[in-house]
Structures are given as structure tokens and as C-alpha cells.
Amino acid sequence: MVPDVEGAMTQRHPDACQVLFDAAEKAGANCVRGVEDVSVVTSESFQCVTFKVEGSVHEVRCRLVVAADGRQSVIRRQLGIELHTDEPHHLFSGLLVEDADGFPADLQVIGSTDEVHYLVLPQGSGRIRLYLGFPFSDRHRYTGEVGVRNFLDAFDTPSFPYAKEIVNSTPISPHATYANEDAWVDEPFAQGVVFIGDAAGWNDPINGQGLSITLRDVRIISELLTSMSDWSPSAFSEYATERRVRMSNLRFAARVASKLNNEFGPEAVERRVRAKTRMAEDPMLGLAQAVIMIGPEHAPEGLLGANTWEALFA
């Protein structure tokens, strides 16, 4: 049973993948890495999956394919399932660094300056995950040969503690930049296939919910599969409904976070102060952000909508 987890867990993606891979092997699963050229042919009786490993083609047959093949899901595209995305609001960039030994291992820092939104998530032993949110107009500052240097220098601001440790740290990962949009599918299932994780759509990374969303998907699908023998598409309608509401609530929370933290200049600062003051005065408005920690299913019905948006930003 996978625990019901919400809120940012600050786990590195490769570490989480390895832990789950090892657990699957220990449980008796046949785990294969380095898979290429995956193809799925579905039917009402069984599903045929072919793939290539180290140049050899393999074929397996099963009752159900659980597709967890990421944002660019090959299986989703093969089956012609449409992926919806909202309008990107800003860019998001991440970097893993080491040699930041002077930075407290128990201190997470989140804030905004006049130019960037920054997040600092220590990993222990002097390693830190760093993130920046910034407008599309500043993309050139964080690309090319000077991009990493400008990325680190963006933390050198009076509002940021221990800036020197970050500025002088050593990058040890690729420097990836991507748009912040949410994505979703209308129904995360088809004949013989059910989608989980990013393959079924994802939340704006500003909320830090990627692992939490996937673990919830796994738990719900696991419970459905072990509680009934009917694995036809209709069996996953309950999952689709729950995921639709969950992702909609997280999408609203991300829109609020983007509006608060990833808009810059004097007017944006005034709006940020005003909205956070209103949140402090009315705890219900604060749920527009706190929902990522308490779980999106705990948001009162109708709260995360136009009225709350108006109350925060009018």
C-alpha cells in the first residue's frame, strides 16, 4: 500500500526512482531498464506490449497496461489521447549544486525579488536543489554559456540569507528551463490502459507536487485493481473523477502562487503584499495556498474558484 502523501517532499527524482525500482524488484516484479521503441496494441481480452532492450525485441501480453511513461508519453500518443495545457505564465529553471557546506541543512528558503522567484531545498552534505521562476522576457539571461552563472548570481540579493554559499557553490546537474503550465487529459484511461503520473497530466512545478500526485495515482489504481475483477475502462471512471477534481484544485493553487510570486515590478509587489495580508486576515483565503500541504481533497467545495480569486486580487 502506497501512503497518501501531499506536500513537497524535496526528494530528488533519481533517488525516488531508485527507491521505487528497488522496492518493486524486492516485491518480485520483473524490472527492466534501458527500454526503447515501446509499442502497445490493445484489445478487450489482452494487451500486447513490444519493446527493445539492448537491441533485442521483446513481447509481453497482459490484462492491463499501467502507463507511467512521463510527460511525453509514447503510449498516450500512440492511442491518440489528447493532452490539454493551459497558457504558460512564466519560466521555471532548476539546478543541483554541491559545495554549499555553509548553508544550513535544515533551512528551506522561498521568496521573490524584483526579478525572480527563488526556492532553495537542501539535500544534505552540502548539496542543494535550486529553482528560479522568471518572466519569458528574461529567458536569455539563463541560457547559453553565461546562463548558469547568472542563475547563481540571482540569489545574491539582500533578502536572501547565506547568498555567498549559493553563489560560490558548484553546479553538478544540467541546467533545465521549461514553462510552468499545467496539463491534463479528459480521461486517464483507454481500452486496456490506465495512465498515472505525468503521463496522465501534471501540475505546475511551482507547487512541488509531482511525486505526491504520482503516489496518490498509484494508491488509487492499486486499490481499484485489488478490489474487483473488472478491469475494463469503466472501472477507472472513479479514478478519473477524483483525479480531475484533485488536479483542478492544484491548478488553481498554482495560478495563485504564480500570480503572487512570479510577477515582478512595483505593482506586483503591492499586489503580493495586499493578497498575503488578506490571507492572514481570512484563513479561508489562505487555503488557496495551504491546499498543497493539507491535500487538495480537503478544499471546501467551491472555494478554489472565481470568488476567491477576486477576494485575493481585486
Distance CA 157, CA 160 (A): 6
Of 179, 197, 232, at which residue does a domain stop? 179
Is 5 a member of any domain?
no
Of 131, 151, 179, at which residue does a domain stop? 179
Residue 241 has pLDDT above 70, yes or no: yes
Using 50, 70 and 90 to split pLDDT, how confident is the model at 9?
Answer: low
Co-location of 142 and 62 in the same domain: no
Using 50, 70 and 90 to split pLDDT, how confident is the model at 8?
Answer: very low
Is 122 a member of any domain?
yes
Domain of 168, CATH number, reads 3.30.9.10
Residue 1 is predicted with a pLDDT of 31
Residue 2 is predicted with a pLDDT of 34
Residue 6 has pLDDT above 60, yes or no: no
Which residues are within 8 A (CB) of 253 and not within 5 positions of it... i.e. 6 or more apart?
207, 288, 289, 291, 292, 296, 304
Summarised one tens digit per residue, pLDDT across range 275-297 is 999 999 999 999 999 999 999 98
Summarised one tens digit per residue, pLDDT across range 148-174 is 999 999 999 988 889 999 999 999 998
- Print the domain residue range for 62: 13-84+183-248
Of 121, 149, 179, at which residue does a domain stop? 179
Residue 274 has pLDDT above 70, yes or no: yes
Distance CA 141, CA 147 (A): 6
CB 79 within 8 A of CB 40: yes
Residue 144 is predicted with a pLDDT of 82
Helix or strand or coil: residue 24? Answer: helix
Q: b/e map of 53-90 (b: 16 or more CB within 10 Å)?
A: eeeeeeeeeeebbbbbbeeebbbbebbebebeeeeebb
Residue 13 is predicted with a pLDDT of 76
Single pTM value for the model: 0.90
Closest CA to 62 of 151, 194, 155: 194
Using 50, 70 and 90 to split pLDDT, how confident is the model at 10?
Answer: low
Is 159 a member of any domain?
yes
Residue 191 has pLDDT above 90, yes or no: yes
Summarised one tens digit per residue, pLDDT across range 24-47 is 999 999 999 999 999 999 999 999
